[in-house]
Amino acid sequence: MVIGAIDGSHIPLIEAPSKINKDIYISHKHRYSIHLQAIIDHKEYFTCYKIGWPASVHDAKVFKHSYIYINNNLFIKNEDYLLGDSAYPLLPWIMTPFKDPQGSNAQQQKYYNTYHSKTRVVIEQAFGKLKARFPFLKYIRLKDTVKRMDIIDIALILHNF
């Protein structure tokens, strides 16, 4: 009943964007980047994605503004589930790991976390393959999104990947 895994990845920028508040594009790795959030299926096909948020924005916030979150009733049927890491909220249709397995069910919670992680790793592999196949995704130039088409190009690649 798991229909995919959701996660975010950063696409590093060669230089700071030409925006007044460019510091919001600095990631936790202290580099300028933009956020790519994606859902992939078990075959590592990108089924949904959102790109362009500044790197400092948390995965959960990008998710709450995403098309899949706003329109989940169009995509999530009956007992369909997505697997997300601990950055995502626990919802009736998103399964996340236990943050601190404890109590009488601690062993089962740890087992669940292990199985969850082993299953969700497909999204990390998909991001790795995407960046390996399209090396320009390792560093893109993004001075002005109106003049540059990099974001649109990335979206087209994801759509066809």
pLDDT digits 0-9 by tens, 104-144: 899 999 999 999 999 999 999 999 999 888 887 777 766 54
Distance separating alpha carbons of residues 145 and 64, to the nearest angstrom: 23
Question: Who's near 63: CB < 8 A, 6+ residues apart?
Answer: 6, 37, 69, 88, 89
Given a contact cutoff of 8 angstroms between Cβ atoms, the answer to whether 125 and 37 are in contact is: no
pTM of structure: 0.83
Reply yes or no on whether the pLDDT at 81 is more than 90: yes
Instruction: Give the pLDDT confidence score for residue 161 in this predicted structure.
Output: 55
Mean pLDDT over the full length of the chain? 85
Query: pLDDT category, 50, cuts 50, 70, 90?
Result: confident
Give the three-class secondary structure for 58.
Answer: coil
Q: Above 80 in pLDDT, residue 148?
A: no
Query: Could you tell me if 121 and 138 are in contact, meaning their C-beta atoms sit under 8 angstroms apart?
Result: no
Domains annotated on the chain, with CATH: 2-160 (3.30.420)
User: How many alpha carbons fall within 13 Å on the CB side of residue 16?
Assistant: 9
pLDDT of 156 over the 60 cut? no
